[in-house]
Amino acid sequence: GHVVRNWKVRWFVLLQDKLLYYKIEGGKKEPSPKGRILLDGCTITCPCLEYENRPLLIKLKTKTNTDYFLECCSREERDSWALDITGAIHAGHPVQVQELHRMKNSFKLLENISLHHIVERMCDSSTGIKLTRNLEQGNRYKETFTGSALVDWLISNSFAVSRFEAITLASMLMEENFIKPVGARSTEATRYSDLSEQFLDDSTALYMFAESSKKKISSKEELQFNISELSGTIVKQGFLVKQGHKRKNWKVRRFVLRADPAFLHYYDPTKEENRPVGGFSLRGCLVSALEDNGVPAGVKGNVQGNLFKIITKNDIHYYIQASSKAERAQWIEAIKPLT
């Protein structure tokens, strides 16, 4: 919106010289358009990366310098709209239309392209690719980017003119060890022999710079937490929800169960350092499942079901929630022999 900067669903109709948009009421578009965007003199940006949490944007700037941000439902839909709108903008210029279709249907990397230069640009703190923390199948990765985010970035920075070209360029970066896959989704793709299939243009496939994969916390620093507590053999680990002791709120924690010595530690998955935020010895503890009907005494909030309680020998009560009855039973069975 231009007045209130919110996002609303609109029905768009592309004509030869304008883009009309309509309000939707009762699942149907209204008969008269809500507004129009004149395409004469427009410039289009796709992909538009001005909104970090909205990767499916098209930006249209009119010749009067009015900006329109249009969000699509998928990358395929976004690229299809961008191609058709670009064709309408250049409809009166046959040479540009011909060049547009050539770019869409052909593949040609930029001449004398420097992978080192691309990586330098990717690492730029202001204009480079945005690095985020991601969670995949219980594993937390920091300073990563998705495959689709890299493809968008390569196109928006004019290193590629199509997604196919950007995918091949990203595969070259991976083959030359500038970037590396992390997580099951992207590493599984590297099993393919064809270069074009090794890199995934996917929002669930994770990648990182090769040099950033080293742990920033040395094993010596980690063991300073308590060398005896963390020296035990890991018996079981996974994500559970734990009630806090002070605020009585519920937070996701990664629990690690160790034997010899028997300790249960929990970690904050939002923190970068791989250090426990709490833990206790299991010797002398009592562990039991809590009934699913009603809220047990000591439990605050609306969290119900699949709960279990651990009482330490110092009479500290821990309330923990599993994702299912089966998972709760597995944790209780794993903890009991260590008490």
- Which range, 160-164, 200-204, 280-284, 300-304, is most confident? 280-284
Residue 293 backbone zone (phi > 0: left; psi -120 to 50: alpha; other: beta): beta
What b/e sequence results for 240-257 when a residue is b if at least 16 CB atoms lie within 10 Å of its CB, and e otherwise?
bbbbeeeeeebeebbbbb
Closest CA to 166 of 202, 126, 127: 202
Could you count the other beta carbons within 10 Å of the beta carbon of residue 50?
Answer: 12
For the segment 173-181, the average pLDDT, to the nearest whole number, is 83
Distance CA 206, CA 180 (A): 9
Instruction: Flag the least confident range among 32-36, 222-226, 265-269.
Output: 222-226
Indicate the pairing of strand 278-281 with strand 263-267: antiparallel
- DSSP string covering 140-198, please? EEEEEEEHHHHHHHHHHTTS-SSHHHHHHHHHHHHHTTSEEEESHHHHHHTT-SSGGGT
Q: What's residue 109's pLDDT? A: 47
**DSSP state letter for 199:** S
Q: Give pLDDT, residue 14.
A: 92
- pLDDT given at position 108: 45
Beta-sheet strand order (sheet of 233-243) = 278-281, 263-267, 250-259, 233-243, 317-321, 307-311, 286-289
Q: What is the pLDDT at residue 297?
A: 67
Cα separation, 105 vs 86, whole angstroms: 15
Give yes or no for residue 106 having a pLDDT over 70. no
- Reply yes or no on whether the pLDDT at 103 is more than 60: no
Of 231 and 109, more confident? 231
- Report how far residue 264's alpha carbon sits from residue 338's, in angstroms, rounded to the nearest whole number: 10
Predicted confidence (pLDDT) at residue 105 exceeds the cutoff of 60: no
Per-residue model confidence (pLDDT) at position 302: 65
Report for 74-88, 110-124, 294-308: range of highest mean pLDDT: 74-88
- pLDDT, average across residues 102-127: 67
Q: Supply the pLDDT for residue 336.
A: 94
Residue 273 has a pLDDT of: 64
pLDDT at 88: 85
Question: Does residue 60 sit in helix, strand or coil?
Answer: strand
Residues in the chain: 339
Report the pLDDT value the prediction gives residue 263, as an integer from 0 to 100: 92
Task: Enumerate the β-bridge partners of residue 181.
Answer: 207
> Cα(116)–Cα(28) distance, rounded to whole angstroms?
51
Mean pLDDT of 167-192: 80
Mean pLDDT check: name the lowest of 172-181, 227-236, 267-276: 267-276
What are 121-173's pLDDT values in tens digits? 898 878 899 888 776 655 677 789 999 999 999 988 888 888 878 887 888 78
pLDDT at 194 over 60: no
Q: In the prediction, which pLDDT does 113 show?
A: 60
Task: Answer yes or no: is pLDDT of 224 > 60.
Answer: no
Alpha-carbon distance of 111 to 124, in angstroms, equals 23
Low-confidence winner among 38-42, 76-80, 149-153, 279-283 (lowest mean pLDDT): 76-80
Distance CA 236, CA 33 (A): 59
Nearest to 279 by CA among 215, 241, 225: 225
Neighbours of 162 (CB within 10 A): 18
Indicate if the pLDDT at residue 61 is higher than 70. yes
> What sign does the dihedral 47-52-56-57 (CA atoms) show?
negative
| Euclidean distance between the first and the last CA atom of the chain, given in angstroms as a whole number | 60
Question: Which tens digits make up the pLDDT trace of 287-315?
Answer: 999 877 666 666 777 676 889 999 988 88
Residue type, 296: P
Amino acid (1-letter code) at residue 163: R
CA dihedral 74, 189, 131, 141 (to 10 degrees): 120
Q: What is the arithmetic mean of pLDDT over 195-210?
A: 80
Whole-model pTM: value is 0.39
pLDDT of residue 192: 54
In this prediction, residue 193 carries a pLDDT of: 45
The chain-wide mean pLDDT, for the chain, equals 79
Q: What domains appear along the chain, each with residue ranges and CATH number? A: 10-104 (2.30.29.30), 115-209 (1.10.10.10), 227-336 (2.30.29.30)
Q: Which residue has the higher pLDDT, 202 or 218?
A: 202
Q: What is the pLDDT of residues 29-60, one digit of tens each?
A: 888 999 999 998 888 888 777 776 777 888 99
Cα–Cα distances in angstroms (integers) from residue 241 to residues 35, 235, 236, 252, 254, in the given order: 48, 19, 16, 4, 9
